[in-house]
Amino acid sequence: MDSRAMFVLLWMLLSSTSSGIKLDGNGYVDVIIAISSRVPQDNTLIDKIKEMVTEASFSLYDALNKKVYFKEATILVPPQWNGINFTKARTESFGKAKIRIDNANPAYDVEPYTNQYGECGAEGEYIHFTPEYLLNDSFIQLYGSRGTVFVHEWAHLRWGVYDEYNRDKPYYHSNSHTEATRCSEKNGGQFYNVTAGGSLQPCRIDPQTSLPAKGCMFFPNRNQITNCSIMFSPSLDPVTAFCQEDEHDYEAQNMFNKKCGKATWTVIFEDSVDKDALRSLKPLQSPPPPPSFKVLQRTHRVVCLILDVSGSMQDARILQQRQAATHFLRYIIEDQASVGIVTFSTSASTLRSLTIIDSENTRETLIQSLPTVASGSTNMCLGLSQGLQVLQNDNGDVLGDEIIFLTDGQATDNITGCAPSAIQSGAIIHTLAFSNSAASALIEMANKTGGIFFIARDDMISNQLMDAFAMLTLSTGDYTKEPVQLESVGARTSGWFNGTVSVDQTVGNKTSFVIIYEKSFPSVYIQSPSGSIYTQTNMSHDGSLNIVTLNIPGTAEPGDWKYSVQTSSNQAFTITVTSQAPDDVIPPIIVKTHMNQQFSDGSKPMTVFAEVSQNYRPVINAEVWATLESETGSVHTLQLLDNGAGADAFKDDGVYSRYFTKMVNGRSSLKVRVKNQEGQTRFAAEYVPGYVINGVVQLHPPKPPGSEEPLEVGNFTRTATGESFAVKLSDTTPPNFPPNRITDLSAEIQEDTVLLSWTAPGEDLDQGTAKSYEIRWSFDLDMLRGSFSNGHAVNTAGISPQKAGSDEKYSFKLNFQIENCTTVFFAVQSKDNQNVSSETSNIAPGSMIPPGPKPPGESYPCMSLIILVISLCVETMVICFIVPLTRRVVKFRKRFAERKVALTIANKFQINPYA
């Protein structure tokens, strides 16, 4: 197959797949809901999941104009659960599931949330529900019906939309009055502060902002005259729809407007992964049937290594294969798993039938069975067939079993002929391409069976093959049982090879230092944090594998471990350090990394993501570097940032991101190295403190307490490997992209001066330095949003753009008079050296706030406050402005009933919050 045909196949394979979820006609299928193995067995949980998805199906049907529903869902229960009605899992796993049931994230407690860090319209990672949330019906009062909450989170997950509330900025100025951050503005309610004793008090005003002070809450009316929006408050009974353009509140200072700048409905139908299908689907003529469910279970792990021993694997390659497979068998594959070994070249052989790993001796027996010589041609189909036969020996089928298929070249047989049967077998196939000429069918098999595809160069210092084997775990949700890679690095030297590995409190058990040398046995010294020195006398040496190993007994001492390797001959070295959690109570810090695309033709930017977390808690302020290495040897390093700008969606969420602009043709590998400390968390479903029912505020129970204390873990190091990706450019040079869109523009007006702040974009997305900025303003938000060039220009001659990621601040004096409480809107575009402009930034409002503080009793001019926004199942909304002191009510609808309700509530509560 020529290179052009290969990349056409790659494009078809990788651009057509996303999360595994699919639309089958109008119904979503392949929806996997996985229960973590940390969750104790409770079969009621299965029933509650079914109830939630069934309710969500009808809610989704209503919310999207009867176009879609949930047709099928699969529930994956933990391996240790007992049951006779559980079907054997195929390719499903906890790590691949898009909906996860697990113990609480300490920051959110029981609150549902979606792990989401892509651009607007990009799919999220997964939805997290807790068992407590599903089993305790009292939470329905706090968060709304589970079905509607599921649809809220589904919109995050599947369509990449963001929340329409803002906990950090719950209120904003809107030309002479205060609004709660919400969508739509027709969502009426009242403002109150809840005291420690549970009573309602008028909200205080912050004299610096003239907005309600911290602690002031917005209580929505239980009955609303609008049915949107699910992304603001899914707990309101009348809310059954997503905001469309005619009701979307573009002034609200929420994440949705910053990231998307359009209505939820528009994002779903124009930007999401389902946009084409949703536009073409016709509404169903009648309500859909309830979803069908399968309950699956994966028991113990069954793996067959299928290893290439053809002639091209001779010498260095066969040695590296043995080294990496040894590391997998000794440190990665878990106890009680079954492992078999098959080799292939001109023919195929079974070196070891399925063997249960029940002791260290069993592991060493398997290692001794690994192949040591290579010759002959490369017949992949024979290897696949032999491996599948080995997997059938435990129970007669291969459903859910795993194949680790390693080869270094193109097949001499037609692997495209046997790949379909391997794909249909029900096995998970991981494929490792140990060269730049391996068949593209390897990607197809991994992609279609839920496996992972890696490329690995045979340059020893890259350590890619070791990294690939180290990533071949199958998570059940309990990370205390899984190995963690602390370090993986290589170098070529004729002197010293030195470094430091930090062991933190979340790891330390089964800690191993594995040093691989190329030619001659070196001198090795490893020093513990307390100063103890380990030398070769404390280590094991395998001369046939060129491996020196130090296994730390018990739990490794936390702190910085220093290693030094000395050689007198010029040779390559690698060191790999792995460890595990010291107990089953505290999960370790883990790193997950991937690209946003597995294949790119250069038309859209690629993004590198690395998520650093501990028990779902984000770890922030770490130093994160990505290494992207092509199969031809070009290496690009990139520091990933968690600053909420450029490619990064949220600041301090533990997700470190960066655009990858230096694309090169071919397949590339991804590796991330992380070091340092600290963490905290954010982003969860909205908690509603109560409702206004018939004019009376009814409080909900307090929100369950989540811990937002920083995670103190001291120094740590981690390395992680992501799935390989492929690039096919029409030109030999990387594409040029404009500066990234600014999404964090903010504006403040003080007297006659405007202060703007934002994070600097780059010359090429978030790389380099932009050439210039263009700033415009308008009193009309819609005009500025729709036609940036028609806004009033600001003189930016004095701005010299800073390097991407820097904090930009620019102040200028207004050349016209603005009255108090007037809102002005600002936007920015940046240009690169070719004068190509970025997209228009988020629209930032600035309001003229009278200087404070005010003497007691004096009014706040901006506070002609909305006391109530009442709607009681009527077609129009009454907005009552109750003005401090001398002002009287200036605007009422004429309907007598509405007047009566408004006055009754005002009198009952003696409302004048802004006096």
Positions annotated as catalytic residues are 153
Q: What are the φ/ψ torsions at residue 323 (nearest 5 degrees)? A: -60, -45
Packed helices 380-392 and 415-424: angle between N→C axes, nearest 10 degrees:
20
- Helix ranges (DSSP H) in 89-247: 131-135, 139-143, 146-159
69-70/27-29 β-pairing:
parallel
Q: What are the φ/ψ torsions at residue 642 (nearest 5 degrees)? A: -120, 55
How far is Cα 616 from Cα 128, in angstroms, rounded to an integer? 10
Neighbouring CB atoms inside 10 A of 361's CB total 9
- Helix ranges (DSSP H) in 570-614: none
Strands annotated E in 159-202: 171-173, 178-180, 189-194, 200-201
Packed helices 3-15 and 441-449: angle between N→C axes, nearest 10 degrees:
10
Residue 720, both tokens:
């992680």
Residue 504, both tokens:
């933190």
User: What is the number of H-type helices and E-type strands within the chain?
Assistant: 16, 52
**For 332, which DSSP code?**
I
Residue 857: left if φ>0, alpha if ψ -120 to 50, beta else—which one? left
**Measured torsion, CA atoms of residues 830, 833, 835, 839, in degrees rounded to the nearest 10:** -30
How far is Cα 466 from Cα 389, in angstroms, rounded to an integer? 27
Q: Give burial (CB, 10 Å; 0-12/13-18/19+) of 87.
A: exposed
| Inter-residue contact 408 to 382 (CB < 8 Å) | no
Residue 349, both tokens:
């052989």
3-state secondary structure of 43: helix
CA 850 → CA 755, 819, 822, 887, distances in Å?
A: 16, 9, 11, 18
How far is Cα 387 from Cα 381, in angstroms, rounded to an integer? 10
* DSSP state letters, 354-392: EEE--SHHHHHHHHHTS-----S---HHHHHHHHHHHHH
What kind and span of H or E run contains 656?
A: strand 655-660
* DSSP state letters, 787-822: -GGGSEEE--TT--PPBTTPEEEEEEE-SS---TT-
Residue 331: left if φ>0, alpha if ψ -120 to 50, beta else—which one? alpha
User: Per this entry, what is the length of the chain?
Assistant: 915
| Inter-residue contact 363 to 335 (CB < 8 Å) | no
Residue 666, both tokens:
């071919």
Single-letter amino acid code for the residue at 157: L
Q: Is the peptide bond before 735 cis (omega within 30 degrees of 0)?
A: no
Q: Identify the CA nearest to 126 among candidates 87, 81, 91, 94.
A: 94
Residue 727: strand pairing partners: 600, 666
Residue 129, both tokens:
């529900």
Q: Identify the CA nearest to 842 among candidates 250, 185, 244, 184.
A: 250
| Inter-residue contact 49 to 147 (CB < 8 Å) | no
How far is Cα 170 from Cα 180, in angstroms, rounded to an integer? 6
